[in-house]
Amino acid sequence: MSTSVRYFLLGFLSLAIVVLDQVTKVYVMETMRLHESIPVVANFFSITYIRNPGAAFGFLSSSSSSFRFVFFGLTSVFAVGLLGTILVRMPKDDWMGRLSVAAILGGAIGNLLDRVRYGEVIDFLDFYINGYHWPAFNIADSAITVGVVFLILHFALEKEPEEAPVIPENRPS
């Protein structure tokens, strides 16, 4: 497969994640009231419209909005740039690693767009058991998580290239 086709496919994966993420968030915002919850699987999963001004698990959500805007804006732009650089510099035959990074990149861009447009991230996937809730998340968060898990597994299971054994010379004594 040519290099341009590979980059097209990786770009398409990232773009598909961004589009799916943004479309689902807009749909939730336009069809639900903030904090409204629609049960999908009783005592396990609901679609719940939540706005998260912080990071994962509400980290920094109580900080001032101007601090959060600068902090998350800078870290998100840095992360997107770093992920793009990693993606371009990865070995061309490292398809699993590149797909993983492309998924993480798509998720990072999706959440960055929320921060730029709304000053916070739109979450709506709400998993729970009775009253114990996992923090709500979205498609971008899912892509980041799946990408990171696959990248960790990929690097953990990656085999080192075997070196040719060193054979001592046979010299007469």
Whether the Cβ atoms of residue 92 and residue 124 lie closer than 8 Å to each other: no
User: Is 93 an active-site residue?
Assistant: no
First to last CA, the chain: 54
Catalytic residue among 21, 114, 123, 126: 123
Residue 17: per-residue pLDDT: 98
Give the pLDDT of the chain (173 residues) as one tens digit per residue: 677 888 899 999 999 999 999 999 999 999 999 999 999 999 999 999 999 876 655 555 656 666 666 777 778 788 888 888 887 888 888 888 999 999 999 999 999 899 889 988 999 999 999 889 899 999 999 999 999 999 899 888 877 666 656 666 766 65
- The DSSP element (H or E) to which 87 belongs, if any, is helix 65-89
Residue 3: predicted pLDDT: 76
The angle at the Cα of 66, spanning 62 to 105, to the nearest 5 degrees, equals 85
List the catalytic residue out of 21, 114, 126, 141: 141
pLDDT at 131: 83
> Rg of the chain's alpha carbons, rounded to an integer?
21
Q: Could you give the CA distance from residue 103 to residue 98 in angstroms, rounded to a whole number?
A: 9
Does 21 qualify as catalytic in the annotation?
no
* pTM, to two decimals: 0.81
pLDDT value at residue 62: 59
